[in-house]
Amino acid sequence: MTSTAQPPQPGAREAHPDHLGHVIFITAAAAMGGFLFGYDSSVINGATVAIQGKFDVNADTLGWIIATALLGCAVGAAIAGRVADRIGRIRVMQIAASLFAISAIGSSLPFAAWDLTMWRFIGGLGIGMASVIGPAYIAEVAPPAYRGRLAAFQQAAIVTGIAVSQLVNWGILNMADGDQRGKLGGLEAWQWMLGVMVIPALLYGLLSFAIPESPRFLISVGRMTEAKKVLAEVEGTTVDVDARAAEIETAMHREHQSTFKDLLGGKFGFLPIVWIGIFLSVFQQLVGINVIFYYSNQLWQSIGHDPSSSFLYSFETSIVNIVGTVIAMIFVDRIGRKPLALIGSTGMAVALFTMAWAFSYRSGSGDDVSLPHGQGLVAIIAANAFVLFFALSWGVVVWVLLGEIFPNRIRAAALGVAASAQWLANFAITKTFPSMSEWSLTGSYIIYGAFAALSIPFVAKFVKETKGKTLEEMG
């Protein structure tokens, strides 16, 4: 999808909708795609140990089962924009919800490891589409005066989805007497964990029928009367909707559709600013944040905690993630993107190296492993500190920077490259962690900590502060 080439008229900047609650409802409904993104990112956490036991797969195969969804995400994200430009934003939301619902049902009733992997790929397609269409739709319907606050709904929905999935998993586990493979209504507990995903998927689909199509898409296909009606709903009746619709139509004719070729020309292939975006995306994942959300239950069980305690620790981490995200939203426009990123990198590096130290005291083998009480407590505190520092910095800052650092003429294409790099780095970390943890948990966290430490000089030298600057100044 493309972005408006010129800013709105002054009247539009000051627009206040007649019914702000209605606009908030529209935004929250679209942000349900973010909720699905967060829910899927974490729900598999509750099933990893059971899946490995059920299908008798090794760590490498388990990594494929978990990480294949991310490949689906990459594909879904890559096609969402073009599909939405053809059939509309709402239809893409409905397709994404359908794919996720199908994935939830299939994942809960797999015959073997291979079809569980297939269902997760299908779910990834839906998540990838939703992760792109949600923010784009919100940006297109939000009144300019409220756009920043409403855009924050997407990230809030993601971290809420993570927390809710942890809580649901914990409840199901308790009903199964703490056994991930315990029977409940003819299915094992882990199957219910994956199957329950159908509920938010259906809710997302139903909500998509209750919100209007993007006025930008309506104008692009010549449905001007409908577009003006939506503009009046979301920007208020005091705005000249005829002028606003004409402004959007003019901007759409003038805007530049950036292509991959526009990104080339630097000493190392891409332009320097594109490499900065790629490295921001890659560093965000190489610190190992998704290990916490995909594998934390398995991690805590591997050092001697029982399944119920492991779920409780994972849920606690999700709450810390929400708190950190709120902190980032409060301070990203106050102290700036660069200082926040540097604070986060430093905190993450210290926390990860502390976790590596604690796990070096791990003793035993197989199912009989443990940490001394002191080191176990340190590991839990350090893990939560890591999540907090990530959430209050890189979790939000990277997406803010990616939306600001690129010149207008290459923004769309550069964002696509950076986002693809992020999905691929996410896949690499998620796929390799099971094997790396069998090799050495201490070594794994030293590697993640090293990437956090390397991000400090990278940000200090190459990332420019964008706080308070217009997008045009980025050119």
Residue 54 has pLDDT above 50, yes or no: yes
363 pairs with which residues across the strands? 370
Closest CA to 344 of 287, 393, 396, 397: 393
Residue 4 has pLDDT above 90, yes or no: no
Residue 74 has pLDDT above 70, yes or no: yes
Which pLDDT band, with edges at 50, 70 and 90, does 472 fall under? Answer: very low
Alpha-carbon distances of 24 from 21, 137, 141, 144, rounded to whole Å: 5, 13, 11, 14
168 pairs with which residues across the strands? none
Which pLDDT band, with edges at 50, 70 and 90, does 66 fall under? Answer: confident
186 burial (CB, 10 Å; 0-12 / 13-18 / 19+) is exposed
What number of other Cβ atoms are within 10 A of residue 345's Cβ?
26
What mean pLDDT, rounded, does the chain reach?
81
Model pLDDT, residue 7 = 45
Model pLDDT, residue 37 = 82
For the record, the structure tokens of 260 come out as: 């991959």
Phi and psi at residue 472, in whole multiples of 5°?
A: -65, -30
Residue 98 has pLDDT above 90, yes or no: yes
Q: What is the pLDDT of residues 246-256, one digit of tens each?
A: 877 776 676 55
Model pLDDT, residue 5 = 40
Cα gap 407→411, rounded to integer Å:
6
Least confident window among 44-53, 278-287, 337-346: 44-53
Q: What is the pLDDT of residues 171-197, one digit of tens each?
A: 888 888 878 788 888 899 889 999 999
For the record, the structure tokens of 161 come out as: 């989805």
For the record, the structure tokens of 150 come out as: 């409403």
- Record the pTM: 0.74
Phi and psi at residue 44, in whole multiples of 5°?
A: -65, -20
List b or e across 234-251, with b for residues whose CB sees 16 or more CB atoms inside 10 angstroms. Answer: bbbeebebeebbebbbeb
Q: What is the pLDDT of residues 143-164, one digit of tens each?
A: 766 665 676 677 778 888 888 8
Q: What is the pLDDT of residues 360-399, one digit of tens each?
A: 887 765 555 677 778 878 888 898 899 999 999 998 888 7
Residue 411 has pLDDT above 90, yes or no: no
Average pLDDT for 80-92: 84
Model pLDDT, residue 145 = 65
List b or e across 388-401, with b for residues whose CB sees 16 or more CB atoms inside 10 angstroms. Answer: bbbbbbbbbbbbbb
Which pLDDT band, with edges at 50, 70 and 90, does 456 fall under? Answer: very high
Residue with tokens 């408006």: 4
